Chain A
Amino acid sequence: MNKITNRQAVCDTLLKLAETDRDIVVLCSDSRGSASLKPFAERFPEQFVEVGIAEQNLVSIAAGLAACGKKAIAASPASFLSTRSYEQAKIDVAYARTNVILLGISGGVSYGALGMSHHSVQDIAVMTALPDMRVYLPSDRFQTAKLIEALMQDDKPAYVRISRSATEDVYDEHMPFWLDKANIHAEGSDVTIITCGELVPYAVKAVELLEKEGIRAGLIDMYCLKPLDEDTALAAAERSKLIVTVEEHSPYGGLGSLVAQIFSAHRPKKLLPLSLPDGHIIAGTNKEIFAHYGMDAKGIATSVIQALSEV
């Protein structure tokens, strides 16, 4: 079982890049510990900015730095970053098109039992709604590292949500990666599961369960929510009887909505969207929460079998 978290993968990647790139600036809002960015702050103190518990300030200062040539990475819990500082993300980052990566740590229900204040299950909806804001939910540490490396090569805004706990490895360091191109794990004529973020390992296991049942199941890791890899989603719709989206997000405005939008415009297709509920989320670890709402491997497989019987 992998013990290296995605946030640690971010820090390791930034440590490597900052060796040769003095323009990289990491900003935290009393979040260097929870973002695993302490090693960066210690190794490159002159490229690290601590703003205290002030997420609005975090994002605006990052934008100001970026407007003067820096490559700014603003790290804060996804819950606060995506809503407390949403206006700053809208105006100072998206509208101003500044070179800022908004890094939402401990995303989704990572904080488990801490309650709705600490959940970020609206972030895909709000961030994808901003013009010029790209949105990514990488799955494992390898994909996270590749994504951060790729994003540091350009000068456009992005929102990246990562989880708190270590995610099981899905890839290895030699994984293929193209920015804004989904990773296809398997192709299946019966069903294709489209998911992202830390739910990808659960979906991998769900595919194994479905294969045991004689169901030909495909799996797409749609880590790029915006721009969504439409071609890959539409090709899956072409070859599969059913599409299932699984996401650690509210039922509104997330992966399911984005995929449905593409299908309704280009290729009407039966879609089963699995998500967290629109309402109070039960307390527990993220694993317990996923199981409760039928988003673990068994839950996904059960829903797929049921939906296929109705196709």
Chain B
Amino acid sequence: MEQLTNIANRLRRDIIEMVYQSSAGHVGGDLSVIDILTVLYFKVMNVSSERVNDPDRDRFLLSKGHCTDALYCVLGEKGYFDKQEAILSFCRFGTKFIGHPNTDIPGIEINSGSLGHGLSVGVGMALAAKMGSRPYRTYVVLGDGEMAEGSNYEGMMAATHFGLDNLCATVDCNRLQISGRICDVMNSDSLPAKFREFGWNVVEVADGNDSDQLVEAYEKAKDCKGRPTAVIAYTLKGKGVSFMEDEAAWHHGVMNEEQYRQAVKQLEGIIT
């Protein structure tokens, strides 16, 4: 079986193609979150493109919806739709592959795009599972910049109150947002302490771009009973393309042809 790291790197190559062809998207966050998405979709979650409407499928919400480019590449790779169609039509006139998740795309659970919604919607989905004694789990991926939205803390409070051990939130902590370093823009530091204070089980992942570390974290999340788990994954924005790494300008930067060739060369060099 292909290694998760290699799948993620192939998807990085797809992301670069998608954002270059469209001159759109959020490439920096795509590259930081792609390992998380790959581990969830190819290892952790009970989902399949052949069971799109299975009531017991695990539910996934990309609360940092602007990184839907990465999610489209993952879903395409999983066979939910023709990945090439997504890459070539992303953000173009009349496309269904718009710049935020929407349910016209098979595999997307709910329309979204505005930050600070996913956790509370995920609470509702996890509650529905508890009410109906359904076995599915709900996974929500947030950004660390997104944690400045106050609504997240309403969701955090409710998730513990309802004892939602079938809910797992992951924060893609790449430490950058559109205006610069998160610590300078609005410091959302100490996220593990914040989640713990709200009663969550917290699993920190020192390298959130390391598949093995992520797999281990999600196993711990599944083992935790009685309360929700937050996986705080410390990632690198722009991971895999040297000139994009840890640079806020690449939050939604657009590559010129030379940069595109350089990015492709670097990524093809690490794909086995």
- Seen from chain A, the residues whose Cβ lies within 8 Å of a Cβ on chain B are 25, 46-47, 49, 51-52, 54, 56-57, 60-70, 72, 87-88, 90-92, 95-98
Report the bound CA distance from A57 to B154 in whole Å: 6
- Cβ of B52 within 8 Å of any chain A Cβ, yes or no, is no
**Are the C-beta atoms of A96 and B129 separated by less than 8 Å?**
no
A67/B124 contact (C-beta < 8 A), A91-B114, A91-B117 known: yes
**Are the C-beta atoms of B125 and A67 separated by less than 8 Å?**
yes
Residues of chain A lying within 8 A (CB to CB) of residue B157: 52, 54, 57
Task: Please report the number of residue pairs spanning A and B whose Cβ atoms sit closer than 8 angstroms.
Answer: 99
Size of the B side of the interface (Cβ < 8 Å), in residues, is 29
Chain B contact residues, majority secondary structure: helix
Min CB–CB distance A48 → chain B (angstroms) = 10
Residues of chain A lying within 8 A (CB to CB) of residue B155: 57, 60
- Cβ of B113 within 8 Å of any chain A Cβ, yes or no, is yes
Min CB–CB distance A243 → chain B (angstroms) = 38
Residues of chain B lying within 8 A (CB to CB) of residue A88: 117, 120, 151
- Cβ of B1 within 8 Å of any chain A Cβ, yes or no, is no
B120-134 at interface with A (beta carbon < 8 Å): 120-129, 131-132, 134
Residues of chain B lying within 8 A (CB to CB) of residue A69: 55, 128, 132
Contacts beyond the supplied A46-B131, A52-B158, A66-B124: 4 A-B pairs with Cβ under 8 Å: A60-B123, A63-B110, A68-B128, A92-B121
Report the bound CA distance from A87 to B154 in whole Å: 15
A65/B158 contact (C-beta < 8 A), A87-B114, A96-B112 known: no
**Are the C-beta atoms of B110 and A92 separated by less than 8 Å?**
yes
- Cβ of B111 within 8 Å of any chain A Cβ, yes or no, is yes
Residues of chain B lying within 8 A (CB to CB) of residue A70: 128, 131
- Cβ of B59 within 8 Å of any chain A Cβ, yes or no, is yes
Report the bound CA distance from A66 to B111 in whole Å: 13
Residues of chain B lying within 8 A (CB to CB) of residue A56: 120, 151, 154
**Are the C-beta atoms of A61 and B124 separated by less than 8 Å?**
yes
Residues of chain A lying within 8 A (CB to CB) of residue B134: 68
Min CB–CB distance B57 → chain A (angstroms) = 10
Q: Name the residue among B59, B128, B157 with the largest chain A CB count within 10 angstroms.
A: B128
Scoring B residues 86 to 114 as 1 if CB is less than 8 Å from chain A, else 0, what string do you get? 00000000000000000100000111111
8 contacts between A and B (CB under 8 A): A64-B128, A66-B124, A68-B125, A68-B134, A87-B114, A92-B112, A96-B110, A97-B111
Q: Name the residue among A54, A64, A70 with the largest chain B CB count within 10 angstroms.
A: A64
Residues of chain A lying within 8 A (CB to CB) of residue B120: 56-57, 60-61, 64, 88, 92
A67/B110 contact (C-beta < 8 A), A54-B157, A54-B158, A56-B151 known: yes
Min CB–CB distance A86 → chain B (angstroms) = 11
B122-176 at interface with A (beta carbon < 8 Å): 122-129, 131-132, 134, 151, 154-155, 157-158, 161
**Are the C-beta atoms of B113 and A61 separated by less than 8 Å?**
no
Q: Name the residue among B103, B120, B151 with the largest chain A CB count within 10 angstroms.
A: B120
**Are the C-beta atoms of B125 and A64 separated by less than 8 Å?**
yes
**Are the C-beta atoms of B154 and A68 separated by less than 8 Å?**
no
Residues of chain A lying within 8 A (CB to CB) of residue B161: 52
Residues of chain B lying within 8 A (CB to CB) of residue A68: 55, 59, 124-125, 128-129, 132, 134
**Are the C-beta atoms of B132 and A91 separated by less than 8 Å?**
no
